[in-house]
Structure 1
Amino acid sequence: MRHILIRAGTVEIRARLLATPTADRIWSALPIRGSVQTWGKEVYFRTPISHDLEPEARIVVNKGEIAFWPDGDAITIGFGATPISKRGEIRFTSKCNVWAVAIDDVDQLKSVYPGEQISVVEADSEGRAWIAGHPMQETHRASHGGIHAAMCSSGDEGGTAG
């Protein structure tokens, strides 16, 4: 089973990759670094990869799901309502590919701000980050359990995130 660690400031969220083509593409591109952008209760960041929509792509995600937004080549993590959400949902501007599920609480993302640096690295099942096949000296664990990814754009809702 493949795991990643997402870090931004003091926030660390572990996640388990799903068996999808998007997950495979992201896994092969690790480590990924970017600059945080926000849209309501959603954090997203551009990546150096591109990928098409998958048949199961969705505009509404569940808390704890991590998605890839093909329209913006971005990883998206929703942890609450966006400006276009309907009551009780996490809704993106367009469809996204769900490729991972958070192990830790995505509500931690409330403390992440636009412009902050974010990274996604390979991790073992305990959440220890790995770089070039070796464990990193210093690792931390997030204190809760659940991640949500969501900033996607599907023409059926109009608008763009950000």
Structure 2
Amino acid sequence: MTHICPTSTGGSPISRQPRRHPTIRALAKALPLASSARLGKQVFFDTRVAVSRETDARQVVEPGTVAFWTDGDALALLYGPTPIPGDECRLAVPRNVLGRVDGDPRLLATVQDDDPIRVEIAEIT
């Protein structure tokens, strides 16, 4: 299982259950990743991992979705409505959906602009 550890949340893991997915496999090969958060109602950060858009990529997702933006090589953890018109998590372009954040995705609102982000493999019991 992979988990996300924003240092601004005290290093507490925000985990997700990954699906078998080409994007997840590409990210796993590049782990650990370190970057800085960029925000809207999402924690969004560069990975330097390049993958293609999958056939099941979606533009409208639920809060708590973990998605990958193929045009920007970035991972996004969404926790609320985006700036795109409408009161929903509507992305500018379809993104590869990788899974969901375990627990309350609103915890991601505590991550500040430029907070360090680290993605790594961990055993969660």
Q: Which residue of 1 aligns with 2:16?
A: 15
Report Cα offsets for 1:101-142 as digits up to 9, x if no partner. 22222111111111110011101132xxxxxxxxxxxxxxxx
Output the CA distance in 1 between the equivalents of 2:82 and 2:101: 19
Give the match for residue 112 of structure 1: 111
**Which runs of structure 1 show a deviation greater than 3 angstroms over 4 or more consecutive aligned residues?**
none
Counterpart CA distance in 2 for 1:100 and 1:85 is: 24
Query: Helix, strand or coil for the counterpart of 2:67?
Result: strand
Q: Do 1:13 and 1:105's aligned partners in 2 also have CA atoms closer than 8 Å?
A: no
What are the ranges of 5 or more consecutive residues in structure 1 without an aligned counterpart?
127-162
Q: How far apart, in 2, do the equivalents of 1:63 and 1:19 lie?
A: 21
Distance 2:107 2:93 in 1: 24
Identity of aligned residues (%): 32
Aligned residues: CA RMSD: 1.2
Query: Which aligned pairs between 1:72-151 and structure 2 lie closer than 5 A?
Result: 72-87=72-87, 89-126=88-125
More helix by share: 2
The two structures have a TM-score, normalised by structure 1, of 0.71
1:10 to partner: Cα distance = 3.8
**Contact 2:66/2:97 (CA < 8 Å) preserved in 1?**
yes
Q: Give unpaired runs (5+ residues) of structure 2.
A: none
Work out the number of aligned pairs and report it.
Answer: 122
Other-structure match for 1:61 = 61
SS state at 2:5 partner: strand
Contact 2:65 2:79 in 1 (8 A): no
Correspondence for 1:35? 36
Indicate the SS of the match to 1:99. Answer: strand
